[in-house]
Amino acid sequence: MKPINATQVRSDWSAVVDSVVREKPIVFKRTRDLLFLSDIELLNELLSAYTYNARVFAEDDGSVTIALDEIDLVENGADEIEALDKLSRAILEYSEEYYDDYSYWSRGNRKAHRPYVFKALILNDLKKIGGLIKCRHGET
């Protein structure tokens, strides 16, 4: 993809956005920065391979704990459904906090969380997020 100049993007903003939405994404260059512009549907498609993997543990008190692999989140509930609902909410809340302070959280060892964070933010639906959690039972 050949980048276009940011000045051209700025001067033809409406036409550029229409082109991105109806035709294809673009890359544009501002000084030494390369930026990618697309509609949210393409981002959703690019992230479609990302799911959440978790381990499910039966506790001695009869409750269930679910631990997410990709992000250090753990939730406990009276049963697996409740724990999964809590974990879905925790993923969305974590993603919102991550995005709110993106310059801090997107560095270091949490950099790998970015696709999972954007996946949750784009979905913005607890049931859809929960549907992407693949649970493995009985593993330690």
How far apart, in whole angstroms, are the C-alpha atoms of residue 99 and residue 105?
A: 8
Q: Domain 4-38: state its class.
A: alpha beta
Distance between alpha carbon 44 and the CA centroid of its chain, in Å?
A: 9
Residue spans of the domains in the chain: they are: 4-38, 47-137
The CATH number of the structural domain formed by 47-137 is: 3.30.160.620
Q: Where are the alpha helices (DSSP H) in the chain?
A: 6-11, 13-22, 40-46, 80-100, 102-105, 114-123, 126-131
Query: Taking 60 as the threshold, does the pLDDT of residue 140 lie above it?
Result: no
Per-residue confidence (pLDDT) for residue 138, from 0 to 100? 67
| Alpha-carbon distances of 75 from 13, 29, 33, 49, rounded to whole Å | 45, 43, 40, 24
What average pLDDT does this structure show over 129-138? Answer: 92
Residue whose entry in the numeric block shows the structure tokens 């990302």: 50
Q: How many residues does the chain have?
A: 140
Percentage of the chain beyond pLDDT 90 is 91
Query: Taking 90 as the threshold, does the pLDDT of residue 137 lie above it?
Result: no
Q: Whole-prediction pTM value?
A: 0.88
How many helices (H) does the chain have, and how many strands (E)?
A: 7, 7
Mean of per-residue pLDDT scores for the chain: 94
Per-residue confidence (pLDDT) for residue 139, from 0 to 100? 53
In terms of DSSP bridges, do strands 26-30 and 4-5 run parallel, antiparallel, or are they unpaired?
Answer: parallel
